[in-house]
């Protein structure tokens, strides 16, 4: 069975996501040559983009302003250069795999269009932050504080009505805008019941949820080979508990569970303009793989004023960049889980 959701996007095809104003897909290829991938982009990705680009009846342009496609690629293939030059797509992140996928990587290629591009100053600041975080070595975390408890929601009793209210408040306090509607109890319930989510929460000694993180489950079969990945997202904390390292503990637990469940790749798409979660990923032994600029609807706390970049137009200030951090069998820290 192929599992996908709004965060993961289409698997095996390209698809338009209106909320994020992007065409997003996962190519059904194991890329062995740059020309092979270029032909796929021209045949399957660009037609979707061109078909969705249109002018609305109101005084605004609707349709995609970003393309992001993902593909499995042989490590000796350089999907840059002339073959893709006319598409404008560039590799934004590259995840080395290993084990069953030894000799292959997972490439994320993207292109942004006018109004959705950042200034060089902001991009350099984001890259500098990621560079500083990537210098941090794996660190064993502190134990779960006394009285606190990690609850793997779908392996437990689920969420109560009080839990739904609490999570809605936490998400509302954590984001000004977000890809998924999680600032109300109904949205949280729908999110929890989605078979493609794998949420974990941290409860304080009184049993109240104070931190949440989630893994989006993805599976795609390419030429008879199954690739299973878990994307860490939907992480948020009660502001009073943000300096306790609890989010990092939850993510570490999620990584461990995903490894036990047999996933080929685990990665986090983390706010690029906010330092704390990036440093937490590095401490958990994850590898920085690249930045997806202005990738989706996500805004909130920023150490780098990305959403205020003078080069962005107003329609794109609710979007944010994401840093990709991964841990796979190719990462030496895989053995720590």
pLDDT in the model for residue 57: 44
Is the pLDDT assigned to residue 59 strictly greater than 60? no
What is the tens place of the pLDDT at every residue in 151-192?
Answer: 999 988 889 999 999 999 999 999 888 888 888 999 999 999
Residue partners of 213: CB distance under 8 A and separation at least 6: 199, 200, 232, 234, 235, 247, 250, 251, 254
Is the pLDDT assigned to residue 56 strictly greater than 70? no
What is the tens place of the pLDDT at every residue in 73-131?
Answer: 999 887 766 678 888 999 999 999 999 999 999 999 999 998 999 999 999 999 999 99
Do 149-285+295-336 and 14-117 have the same topology in CATH? yes
Say which CATH class 14-117 falls into. Answer: alpha beta
Helix axes 246-260, 275-283, angle to 10 degrees: 50
Mean local confidence (pLDDT), 131-140: 96
pLDDT in the model for residue 41: 95
Helices (H), the chain: 34-40, 46-52, 82-85, 120-134, 161-174, 185-193, 246-260, 275-283
- Sequence spans of domains, the chain: 14-117, 149-285+295-336
Is the pLDDT assigned to residue 328 strictly greater than 90? yes
CATH 3.40.630.30, domain 149-285+295-336, yes or no? yes
Please state the pTM of the whole predicted model.
0.94
Is the pLDDT assigned to residue 300 strictly greater than 70? yes
């Amino acid at each position: 069975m192929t599992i996908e959701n709004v965060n993961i996007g289409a698997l095996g095809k390209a698809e338009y996501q209106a909320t994020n104003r992007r065409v997003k897909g996962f190519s059904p290829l194991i890329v062995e040559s740059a020309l092979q991938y270029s032909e796929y982009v021209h045949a399957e990705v660009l037609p979707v983009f061109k078909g969705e680009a249109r002018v609305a009846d109101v005084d605004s342009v609707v349709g995609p302003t970003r393309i992001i496609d993902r593909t499995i690629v042989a490590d000796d293939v350089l999907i840059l250069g002339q073959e893709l030059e006319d598409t404008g797509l560039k590799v934004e992140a590259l995840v080395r795999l290993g084990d069953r996928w030894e000799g292959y990587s997972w490439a994320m290629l993207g292109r942004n269009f006018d109004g959705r591009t950042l200034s060089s100053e902001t991009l350099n600041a984001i890259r500098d932050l990621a560079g500083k975080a990537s210098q941090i070595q794996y660190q064993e975390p502190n134990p779960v504080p006394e009285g606190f408890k990690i609850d793997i929601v779908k392996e437990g009793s689920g969420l109560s009505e009080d839990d739904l209210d609490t999570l809605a408040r936490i998400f509302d306090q954590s984001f000004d805008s977000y890809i998924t509607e999680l600032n109300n109890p109904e949205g949280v319930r729908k999110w929890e019941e989605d078979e493609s989510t794998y949420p974990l929460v941290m409860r304080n000694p009184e049993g109240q949820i104070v931190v949440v993180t989630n893994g989006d489950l993805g599976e795609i079969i390419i030429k008879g080979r199954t690739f299973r990945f878990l994307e860490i997202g939907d992480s948020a904390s009660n502001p009073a508990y943000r300096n306790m390292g609890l989010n990092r503990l939850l993510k570490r637990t999620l990584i461990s569970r995903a490894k036990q469940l047999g996933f080929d790749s685990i990665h986090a798409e983390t706010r690029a303009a906010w330092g704390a979660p990036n440093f937490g990923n590095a401490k958990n032994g994850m590898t920085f793989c690249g930045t997806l600029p202005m990738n989706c609807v996500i805004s909130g706390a920023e150490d780098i004023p990305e959403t205020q970049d003078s080069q962005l137009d107003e329609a794109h200030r609710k979007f944010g960049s994401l840093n990709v951090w991964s841990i796979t069998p190719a990462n030496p820290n895989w053995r720590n889980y």
